[in-house]
Amino acid sequence: MKISQLLSWKGEIKRKHYLTWGIILFAIKYNLDRLIALSFDRNWYIIDYYLRVDELSNLETGTTAFNFYLALLISSLPFLWSGTVLCLKRIRNANLSPALVLLFFIPYLNFILFIVLASLPEKKQKGESKENYLKRMLPDNKLGSALISVGVAVIITFILAFLFVEQMGNYGWSLFVGLPFLMGYLSVYLYGRRNPISFKEASMLSLTVVMVFCGTTFILAFEGIICLAMGFPILFVVAWIGAIIAYAIQDHHKAATYSFPIIFVLIAGLIEAEIESSPPVHSVSTTVIIEADKQSIWNELVAFSEIDSPKEFLFKTGIAYPTHAEIIGTGVGAIRECHFTTGYFKEPITIWNEPELLRFDVAQQPPPMTEWSFHEKLHVPHLDGYFRSIEGQFKLIQESNGTVLLEGTTWYTHDIWPGFYWTLWSDHILHKIHYRVLNHIKEKVE
């Protein structure tokens, strides 16, 4: 490796040197940008290269923000030259069209171009079969083949997931079933083209690819740790199924290759099904027995007092939990405000049957959680409107032994699929929220 490889347009460069130079230059560029950001009293993360790509054009000249981005732009000029030179030389080495170098200047596509050029082998020799051409993309040793296979599967899945979530607002079957299946299938398919793979290796590869995908999603600030932990079980199970199917047909390369169009068609079909689907309404009811009269219970539940800090681990992970409630007015039409750690629910009263039944609509609600992330102010799309509380009620039932059964119910919908899986989580969380309120009322009146 020589510095001259970064300066002259002439000649070619092997993929090993191209990949090494790419990593070195990116490391230098990223840390230089971080230093520039610190000098402007700002933070700068890897994901900012993509999230803020159009921000400069919207800034007024002379402002601090404009000067910051201008400094970043000026500092990037040497790297633009070197990157263009390296891409052009590597394109020649892979016997591709020089016009592909234009992709280097297009956000998002430049990242894909780098991965492709770092993976493609040198010029194909005459008489070499397509199968050997694919094999040459993978290293001889098992670890290297596994790393490339997992890397390619994660990159393709991540790009598709980004399109589904950020561009289409899709949190459905295609995201949680179609893409994990593709990820597990693709990683084992690629690995199996170079090395025979056992059932155990296929299973471990599916686990690895899901863990790398989740880690990448977290590091790039596309998701927080709590939601990733909640989604991990279904991601792994589906990826494992895809991996085992690829393992089962590893000796039938044509069948394995021709199955990819079928997988993409199925994913597209899942997307269409989600667009046409309306989320069902779910209800969750929780009860406690209270040794007190109904009127005392009613007086407390209408506007319950401040609740102590939670002891449950669930509420220490960022899940929103209730703190207190207030009410403005009495009777039907009164406005109840149930305060959570992320804001408050605005609840117009629809039934006021004192002291038997209190029912209310939900006119406004706060985010359901605060995500755990080392990125400041992480706010992912599913926090906005994908979980919707519709209605709630408290019902008091007099028991024959003198106690009162207090029942809290919430009606809700969510636009995250598959519904059967995410309903398990939402029902569990709502039960915990109900118990926190009901048990507090119980402690106050007994």
Confidence band of 3 (pLDDT split at 50, 70, 90): confident
Q: Where are the alpha helices (DSSP H) in 303-395?
A: none
Instruction: Give residue-wise pLDDT tens across range 73-104.
Output: 889 889 989 988 998 898 888 888 787 888 78
Positive/negative CA dihedral, 73, 74, 79, 85: positive
Q: Is 338 left (phi over 0), alpha (psi -120 to 50) or beta?
A: beta
Confidence band of 107 (pLDDT split at 50, 70, 90): low
DSSP-derived secondary structure letter, 138? S
Burial of 10 (0-12, 13-18, 19+ CB in 10 A): exposed
Confidence band of 134 (pLDDT split at 50, 70, 90): low
Q: Does the pLDDT of residue 139 top 80, yes or no? A: no
Q: Is 284 left (phi over 0), alpha (psi -120 to 50) or beta?
A: beta
Provide the pLDDT for residue 173: 65
Q: Does the pLDDT of residue 212 top 80, yes or no? A: yes
Min mean pLDDT across 22-36, 140-154, 198-212 is at: 140-154
More confident residue, 262 or 226: 226
Provide the pLDDT for residue 207: 94
Instruction: Give residue-wise pLDDT tens across range 356-366.
Output: 999 999 999 99
Task: Decide: 350 and 361 in contact? Cβ < 8 Å.
Answer: yes
Provide the pLDDT for residue 57: 45
Provide the pLDDT for residue 276: 44
Q: Does the pLDDT of residue 408 top 90, yes or no? A: yes
Min mean pLDDT across 205-219, 225-239, 288-302, 376-390 is at: 376-390
Provide the pLDDT for residue 334: 96
Task: Decide: 412 and 387 in contact? Cβ < 8 Å.
Answer: yes
For the ranges 133-142, 235-244, 397-406, the maximum mean pLDDT occurs at 397-406
DSSP-derived secondary structure letter, 306? P
Q: Does the pLDDT of residue 275 top 50, yes or no? A: no
- pTM over 0.75, yes/no: no
**Closest by CA position to 9, among listed 105, 100, 89:** 89
State the Cα–Cα distance between residues 254 and 249, nearest whole angstrom: 9
**Closest by CA position to 24, among listed 82, 77, 85:** 82
3-state secondary structure of 323: strand
